[in-house]
Protein backbone atom coordinates (compact mmCIF):
# COMPACT_ATOMS: atom_id res chain seq x y z
CA UNK A 1 0.00 0.00 0.00
CA UNK A 2 1.40 3.40 -0.96
CA UNK A 3 2.13 5.98 1.75
CA UNK A 4 -0.59 8.24 0.34
CA UNK A 5 -3.25 5.49 0.44
CA UNK A 6 -2.20 4.48 3.94
CA UNK A 7 -2.40 8.11 5.10
CA UNK A 8 -5.87 8.57 3.61
CA UNK A 9 -6.92 5.35 5.34
CA UNK A 10 -5.73 6.90 8.61
CA UNK A 11 -7.89 9.99 7.96
CA UNK A 12 -10.98 7.84 7.34
CA UNK A 13 -10.35 5.53 10.32
CA UNK A 14 -9.76 8.38 12.79
CA UNK A 15 -12.74 10.40 11.57
CA UNK A 16 -15.09 7.40 11.54
CA UNK A 17 -14.08 6.14 15.00
CA UNK A 18 -14.46 9.64 16.42
CA UNK A 19 -17.85 10.41 14.88
CA UNK A 20 -19.34 6.99 15.68
CA UNK A 21 -18.19 7.16 19.31
CA UNK A 22 -19.50 10.73 19.70
CA UNK A 23 -22.87 9.77 18.18
CA UNK A 24 -23.20 7.02 20.79
CA UNK A 25 -22.25 9.44 23.58
CA UNK A 26 -24.66 12.16 22.39
CA UNK A 27 -27.48 9.60 22.09
CA UNK A 28 -26.82 8.59 25.72
CA UNK A 29 -26.01 12.04 27.13
CA UNK A 30 -28.67 11.87 29.86
CA UNK A 31 -27.16 8.65 31.19
CA UNK A 32 -23.60 10.01 30.97
CA UNK A 33 -24.32 13.47 32.44
CA UNK A 34 -23.17 12.44 35.93
CA UNK A 35 -20.57 10.01 34.60
CA UNK A 36 -20.50 6.24 34.60
CA UNK A 37 -17.59 4.50 36.34
CA UNK A 38 -16.04 1.93 34.01
CA UNK A 39 -13.12 0.90 36.23
CA UNK A 40 -11.09 2.64 38.92
CA UNK A 41 -9.42 5.59 37.27
CA UNK A 42 -11.79 5.83 34.29
CA UNK A 43 -15.32 7.18 33.76
CA UNK A 44 -17.45 7.78 30.70
CA UNK A 45 -18.98 11.26 30.82
CA UNK A 46 -20.77 13.70 28.56
CA UNK A 47 -19.19 17.15 28.30
CA UNK A 48 -19.06 19.93 25.75
CA UNK A 49 -15.80 21.85 25.38
CA UNK A 50 -15.90 25.16 23.54
CA UNK A 51 -12.13 25.57 23.77
CA UNK A 52 -9.26 23.45 22.53
CA UNK A 53 -7.09 20.98 24.44
CA UNK A 54 -7.63 21.25 28.20
CA UNK A 55 -10.26 23.94 27.62
CA UNK A 56 -7.67 26.47 26.47
CA UNK A 57 -9.06 29.30 24.35
CA UNK A 58 -12.55 28.70 25.77
CA UNK A 59 -14.86 31.47 24.65
CA UNK A 60 -13.09 31.99 21.31
CA UNK A 61 -15.75 31.80 18.57
CA UNK A 62 -16.26 28.26 17.25
CA UNK A 63 -15.77 29.44 13.67
CA UNK A 64 -12.34 30.88 14.49
CA UNK A 65 -11.16 27.60 16.02
CA UNK A 66 -12.63 25.72 13.06
CA UNK A 67 -10.88 28.01 10.57
CA UNK A 68 -7.57 27.51 12.39
CA UNK A 69 -8.04 23.73 12.40
CA UNK A 70 -8.96 23.68 8.71
CA UNK A 71 -5.85 25.71 7.87
CA UNK A 72 -3.73 23.16 9.70
CA UNK A 73 -5.58 20.35 7.88
CA UNK A 74 -4.71 21.93 4.51
CA UNK A 75 -1.03 22.17 5.49
CA UNK A 76 -0.99 18.57 6.77
CA UNK A 77 -2.71 17.36 3.60
CA UNK A 78 0.16 18.83 1.58
CA UNK A 79 2.61 17.00 3.87
CA UNK A 80 0.60 13.79 3.49
CA UNK A 81 0.68 14.01 -0.31
CA UNK A 82 4.46 14.53 -0.21
CA UNK A 83 5.13 11.86 2.44
CA UNK A 84 7.89 9.45 1.50
CA UNK A 85 7.39 6.99 4.35
CA UNK A 86 4.30 5.11 5.41
CA UNK A 87 4.81 6.14 9.03
CA UNK A 88 4.88 9.82 8.12
CA UNK A 89 1.74 9.41 5.98
CA UNK A 90 -0.18 7.58 8.73
CA UNK A 91 0.91 10.24 11.22
CA UNK A 92 -0.46 13.03 9.04
CA UNK A 93 -3.62 11.03 8.35
CA UNK A 94 -4.36 10.52 12.05
CA UNK A 95 -3.86 14.21 12.81
CA UNK A 96 -6.04 15.26 9.86
CA UNK A 97 -8.81 12.79 10.78
CA UNK A 98 -8.76 13.89 14.41
CA UNK A 99 -8.84 17.57 13.53
CA UNK A 100 -11.73 17.02 11.11
CA UNK A 101 -13.65 15.12 13.80
CA UNK A 102 -13.49 18.06 16.16
CA UNK A 103 -14.28 20.54 13.36
CA UNK A 104 -17.40 18.49 12.57
CA UNK A 105 -18.51 18.88 16.20
CA UNK A 106 -17.87 22.62 16.16
CA UNK A 107 -19.90 23.01 12.97
CA UNK A 108 -22.83 20.99 14.37
CA UNK A 109 -22.80 21.94 18.04
CA UNK A 110 -20.51 24.98 18.43
CA UNK A 111 -18.35 22.90 20.79
CA UNK A 112 -16.60 19.54 20.93
CA UNK A 113 -18.08 16.45 22.62
CA UNK A 114 -15.69 14.98 25.20
CA UNK A 115 -16.37 11.75 27.07
CA UNK A 116 -13.19 10.00 28.24
CA UNK A 117 -12.49 10.91 31.88
CA UNK A 118 -9.33 9.50 33.46
CA UNK A 119 -8.47 10.25 37.07
CA UNK A 120 -6.26 9.38 40.01
CA UNK A 121 -7.79 9.97 43.41
CA UNK A 122 -9.53 13.34 43.21
CA UNK A 123 -7.41 14.56 40.30
CA UNK A 124 -9.11 14.32 36.88
CA UNK A 125 -7.30 14.68 33.59
CA UNK A 126 -9.38 16.98 31.37
CA UNK A 127 -11.96 14.89 29.51
CA UNK A 128 -11.16 14.17 25.87
CA UNK A 129 -12.40 12.18 22.86
CA UNK A 130 -11.11 9.89 20.10
CA UNK A 131 -10.22 12.87 17.87
CA UNK A 132 -7.83 13.98 20.58
CA UNK A 133 -6.40 10.45 20.80
CA UNK A 134 -5.84 10.44 17.02
CA UNK A 135 -4.15 13.86 17.04
CA UNK A 136 -1.84 13.02 19.96
CA UNK A 137 -1.02 9.59 18.48
CA UNK A 138 -0.36 11.17 15.08
CA UNK A 139 1.97 13.77 16.56
CA UNK A 140 3.84 11.08 18.53
CA UNK A 141 4.22 8.94 15.40
CA UNK A 142 5.36 11.97 13.41
CA UNK A 143 8.08 12.61 16.00
CA UNK A 144 9.14 8.94 15.76
CA UNK A 145 9.17 9.22 11.97
CA UNK A 146 11.36 12.32 12.07
CA UNK A 147 13.69 10.72 14.62
CA UNK A 148 14.05 7.61 12.45
CA UNK A 149 14.71 9.74 9.37
CA UNK A 150 17.41 11.71 11.21
CA UNK A 151 19.16 8.46 12.24
CA UNK A 152 19.47 7.12 8.69
CA UNK A 153 22.90 7.49 7.16
CA UNK A 154 23.04 10.30 4.64
CA UNK A 155 24.28 9.47 1.17
CA UNK A 156 26.94 11.73 -0.23
CA UNK A 157 26.64 12.97 -3.76
CA UNK A 158 29.60 12.49 -6.14
Cα separation, 7 vs 15, whole angstroms:
12
The catalytic position among 18, 105, 117, 132 is 132
The catalytic position among 18, 105, 114, 117 is 114
Cα separation, 116 vs 24, whole angstroms:
13
114 is catalytic: yes
Long-range contacts of 36-39 (CB under 8 A, 24+ apart): none
> SS3 for 88-114, per residue?
HHHHHHHHHHHHHHHHHHHHHHCCEEE
Cα separation, 117 vs 61, whole angstroms:
25
- With beta carbons less than 8 A apart as the criterion, state whether 92 and 79 touch: yes
Residues catalogued as catalytic: 114, 132
Amino acid sequence: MSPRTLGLSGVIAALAADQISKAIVVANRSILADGIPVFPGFNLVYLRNDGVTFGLLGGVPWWALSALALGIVVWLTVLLMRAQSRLEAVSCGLIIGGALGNVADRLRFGAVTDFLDFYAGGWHWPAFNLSDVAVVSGVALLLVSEYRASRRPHRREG
